[in-house]
Structure 1
Amino acid sequence: MSAEADVKLQDFSNIFSLEGKVAVVSGGSRGLGLHSASGLLQAGCSKVFITSRKAKACEEACAALNALPNKRPGAQAISVPADSSKISEIDRLVAEVAKHTDHVDILFANAGATWGEAFDKFTESAFDKVMDLNVKSVFFTVQKFAPLLRKNASTADPARVLVTGSVAGINTATLGKQATFSYAASKAAVLHLARNLAMSFATDGDRILVNSVAPGFFPSKMSNGLLEMSGGAESAARANPNGRLGNAEDVAAAVVFLCSRAGGHVNGHTLVLDGGKIYMNGKL
């Protein structure tokens, strides 16, 4: 081999580009889902469908996304409200999306819920609500969108499925009077579900990569109460090896990476987004 061949370089200028891609983000009207949708649009997606249970929240999110100054000409966020905890609503969501596009390149199954209660007071209904939304709905959302994901997927350009887990599904979660037993169990389950989905698609010859993200503390409506019980955001930030909590850019960047060509050889992986806190002894 010649010296010239050893130093032959490739053009990586568009390695993180999502130019023209079509994405669906469940739980996309606020928090991590909304930040991720913003990242997807700014990275070049032509359509990003925003779905969550509340129509007004979806519309407000889409209005903000469509006002982004650096999205591509003609790119748009489209509101499709749906309750992901109900299979019939997932079917309706897919049908509504299919009215606008004949394929989906990226599915981010991000909708989720939590519940805190002491062990002796934890109810069946609370447990079921969290498990149904955080695990069962993820499986059926992926199942129902699979035909649209398969449509344009190829070895060179596979479709992507992302699932939102949590560090609570890897370490123990919040205990005590506001213990999150069902949340922790659901997030452990959905991380393993993502790995099984990744291998199932690979076994069937589908060019669909499935990965998950496991955030630590990101200030959000879901986590703010827990942050306050743990001593506040500033205390939590000081306890993190990174010296801060997660922010919007952190999750958007991770999602763009996993959905772009840069993440094209990542499959069945859980990307932990917590600044290294997971490796420290002790808990917040």
Structure 2
Amino acid sequence: MASAKDDVKLHDFKNIFSLSGKVAVVSGGSRGLGLHAASGLMQAGCSKVFITSRKAKGCEEAVAALNALPNKAPGARAISIPADSSKMSEIERLAQEIAKETSHIDILFANAGATWGAPFAAVDEKNGWDKVMDLNVKAVFFTIQKLAPLLQKRATLEDPSRVIVTGSVAGIGIGATGLLGTYSYSASKAAVLHLARNLAVELGPRHILVNGIAPGFFPSKMANGLLDAAGGVEKLGEESPNGRLGRGEDIAGTVVFLCSRAGGHVNGDTIVLDGGKIWGNSRL
């Protein structure tokens, strides 16, 4: 029978959130939530963080900012590999370029995405639907598929690799309707969170854990239009049970948790980051 003395023993608990020496890839990493996460990964000890997004200039600016962080590990570096995740050929090229720089990956934050807002009758097939679904779901699946061999390379039972996909509270509750209806965005985020559950079962036995995050409103270039239409940062913050909108540390801390030993038994789950607003809205 275990004693209290045995129960208080925890393996190297002071370093349970450490990502020392890990190699990470962040898609959609040049700004917003992706760059918040990349900063957290660097500061938690990653030795390499690959930043990819469609625009080369954005990637280069993000990498310069990450490499200037004063508390990153000695020798750690961020690396820019621009790629358009909406094209299969670009996803394949991304995997090839990453393989030239590293023999393995420990972490993939599949964060690239797009939104579209329009009245119900004005949503068009190509831009209002296909573009959003392709980038937010199809591209996420194939990015994970093409990088899976690198994720498996050093993954073990005790030290599994991690994949995190970015969903949204719009994929759990109801997204925006009316003049800025986000019908394809909401559907895509519900789909990508369920995709993560399926991949958790598929890839778990290969020692790759897959989870989703579902952010609420975080001030960002992609969300600012909806933020303004909904009344602005201050008003929306007051509507949340915890009294504020999301911050960079909220995303970075959650990603680091899921990628560290602290999150080693979390698989196929979704962490909601909205200060409780999704539940506050359901009050009678």
* Common fold by TM > 0.5: yes
Q: 1:271 to 1:4 in 2, by over 3 A?
A: closer
Deviation at 1:185, TM superposition (A): 0.3
In 2, Cα distance between equivalents of 1:130 and 1:60: 25
In 1, Cα distance between equivalents of 2:101 and 2:35: 20
Partner of residue 177, structure 1: 179
In 2, Cα distance between equivalents of 1:9 and 1:113: 45
Q: Does 1:227 align with 2:227?
A: yes
In the TM superposition, 1:32-51 aligns within 5 A as 32-51=33-52
Partner of residue 201, structure 1: 203
In 2, Cα distance between equivalents of 1:250 and 1:147: 30
Partner of residue 240, structure 1: 240
Paired residue secondary structure (1:268): coil
Deviation at 1:9, TM superposition (A): 1.7
In 2, Cα distance between equivalents of 1:281 and 1:7: 41
Q: Does 1:113 align with 2:106?
A: no
Gaps of 5+ in 1: none
Partner of residue 281, structure 2: 281
Q: Does 1:151 align with 2:153?
A: yes
Deviation at 1:115, TM superposition (A): 0.2
Deviation at 1:280, TM superposition (A): 1.5
**Which amino acid in the other structure matches residue 199 of structure 1?**
V
**Which amino acid in the other structure matches residue 168 of structure 1?**
A
Partner of residue 54, structure 1: 55
Partner of residue 259, structure 2: 259
In 1, Cα distance between equivalents of 2:282 and 2:232: 17
Partner of residue 98, structure 1: 99
Q: Does 1:138 align with 2:140?
A: yes
**Which amino acid in the other structure matches residue 254 of structure 1?**
T
In 1, Cα distance between equivalents of 2:139 and 2:2: 55
Deviation at 1:2, TM superposition (A): 7.0
Root mean square deviation of aligned Cα: 1.2
Deviation at 1:201, TM superposition (A): 1.3
Q: 1:144 to 1:3 in 2, by over 3 A?
A: closer
Deviation at 1:4, TM superposition (A): 6.0
Q: Does 1:64 align with 2:65?
A: yes
Paired residue secondary structure (1:13): helix
Tell me the percent identity: 70
Deviation at 1:281, TM superposition (A): 2.4
Q: 1:282 to 1:156 in 2, by over 3 A?
A: closer
Deviations 1:173-221 (Å, cap 9, x if unpaired)?
000011000000000000000000000113xx30000000000000000
Gaps of 5+ in 2: none
